[in-house]
Structure 1
Amino acid sequence: MRTLIYGMNVTLDGYIAAAGDDISWSAPSDELFQWWLDQERASSLTLYGRKLWETMSSYWPTGDQQPDATPAEIEFARHWRDTPKVVFSSTIDKVDWNTRLVTGDAIAEITRLKADGGGPMSIGGATLAAAAMRAGLIDEYVLATHPVLVGGGTPFFTALDSWVNLNLVETRTFPGGVVLARYETRH
C-alpha cells in the first residue's frame, strides 16, 4: 500500500495561506527549498486540489526557463513536469504536464490509488487534504513552520471527528527560524 504524505509551509498559527491567499511569508531559504525538492523527488505521484494546481501550473511548467532560476529551481521544474499528477476538480476541464483530471469522488480515487501500491504519494491543497484527513487516508504530516503569525486564512488542519495519534519521526531547523516537523500516523 502506498504512503500518502501531506506537507506544506505553514505559519506558527497554523495557516498555509494568509487571508486573500497571501503566501508571501512562505518564501523558503535555499536549504528549505532543497529539502522540498528532495521530497518531490521521492514522490511517485502528486495529488492536487484545484487551487494549488492552478498556483503550481501557473509557474512550474516554465520555472526552469526563468533567467534568475537557481539550479534547485531548474531541477524542481523539470521534476514537477515529469512526475505524474492527479488533479481533483469539478470546475476545470483540462490539465497538462503529465496530469490526469478526476471530477468524481476524490476519496474513492485516493483510496484506490493508495491500494495500487507503488512509491509514496504527496497531497496538496487545503480542501483536498482536509477530505483525505477526515477519511483517515493521510499517513504522514510534514509541517515547515515559519516564524510568523498571520491571524487567519487557509488552515493546514481541518476539524476532525476523532483524534489522530501521531509519532514524531523528524525535526530539523532551517535558516530564518523555520522548524520542520514530520509525523507519521499511528495505525
Structure 2
Amino acid sequence: MRKLTFGMNVSLDGYIAAPGDDLGWSVPSDELFQWWSDRVAATGLALYGRKLWESMSSHWPTADQQPGVTPAQIEYARRWRDMPKVVFSSTITTVDWNTRLVTGDAVTEITRLKAEDGGPMDIGGATLAAAAMRAGLIDEYAIVTHPVLVGGGTPFFTALDTWVNLNLVETRTFPDGLLLTRYETTHRNSL
C-alpha cells in the first residue's frame, strides 16, 4: 500500500494561504527550497486539486527557461515535469506534463491509488486534501511552519468528524525561524 502525505508551508496560525490567496509570506530559503525539491524527486505520484494545479502548471513547466533562474530552480522544474501527477477537477478538461485528469469521486480514486504498488504519494490543494483527511486517507503530515500570523485565509486542517492521533517522526529547523514537523497517523477515534 502506498503512503499518502499532505505537506505544505503553513503560517503559525494554521493557514496555507492568506486572504486573497496571498502566498507572499511563504517564500522559501534556499535550504527549504532544496528540501521541497528533494520531496518532489522522491514522490512516486503527486495528487493535485484544480487550484494548486493551475498555480503550479502556470509556472514550473517553463521556469527553467526564465532569465535569472538558479540551478536549484532548474532542477525543481525538471523534477516537477518528470513527476507523475493526477489532477482532480470537474471544471478543467485537459492537463499536460506527465499528468492525468480525474473528474470522478476523489476519495474513491485516492483509495484505489493507495492500494496500488508504487512510490509514496503527496497530496496538495486545500479542498482535495480536506476530502482525503476526512476520509482517513492521509498517512503523514509534513508541516513547514513560518513565523508569521496571517489572520485568516485557507486553513491547512479541515473540520473532522473524528479525531486523529499523530506520532511525531521528525523536526527540523530552517533559516529565518521556519520549523518542519512531520507526523504519522497512528489511529482515529470518534469525537
The structural deviation recorded for 1:160 is 0.3
User: Any idea what SS the aligned residue of 1:75 has?
Assistant: helix
| Residue pairs, 1:20-35, within 5 angstroms | 20-35=20-35
C-alpha deviations, 1:91-146, integer Å up to 9, x for none?
A: 10110001000000000000000001211000000000000000000000011000
The 2-side partners of 1:58 and 1:9 are apart by: 19
Tell me, in whole angstroms, the C-alpha distance in 2 between the residues paired with 1:68 and 1:44. 30
TM score, norm. by length of structure 1 = 0.99
Structure 1: 5+ residue runs without aligned partners?
A: none
Give the Cα separation in 1 of the matches to 2:139 and 2:63: 30
| Equivalent in the alignment of 2:176 | 176
Correspondence list, 1:31-180, <5 A: 31-180=31-180
Aligned residues: 187
**Secondary structure of 1:164's match?**
strand
Give the superposition deviation at 1:71.
1.2
Give 1:70 shift: 1.4
Aligned to 1:12: 12
Deviation, 1:66, is 1.4
What value does the CA root-mean-square deviation take over the aligned residues?
A: 0.6
Shift of 1:42: 0.8
User: Helix, strand or coil: the match of 1:170?
Assistant: strand
Look up the equivalent residue of 2:13 and give its one-letter code: D
2:145, 2:72 → 1: CA distance?
A: 21
Tell me the amino acid that sits aligned with residue 21 of structure 2: D
Letter in 2 for 1:104: G
- After the TM superposition, which segments of 4 or more aligned residues of structure 1 sit over 6 Å from their partners? none
Q: Distance in 1 between matches of 2:17 and 2:8?
A: 10
Q: What 5-or-longer segments of structure 2 have no aligned partner?
A: none
For the residues of structure 1 that align with 2:108 and 2:153, how far apart are their CA atoms? 28
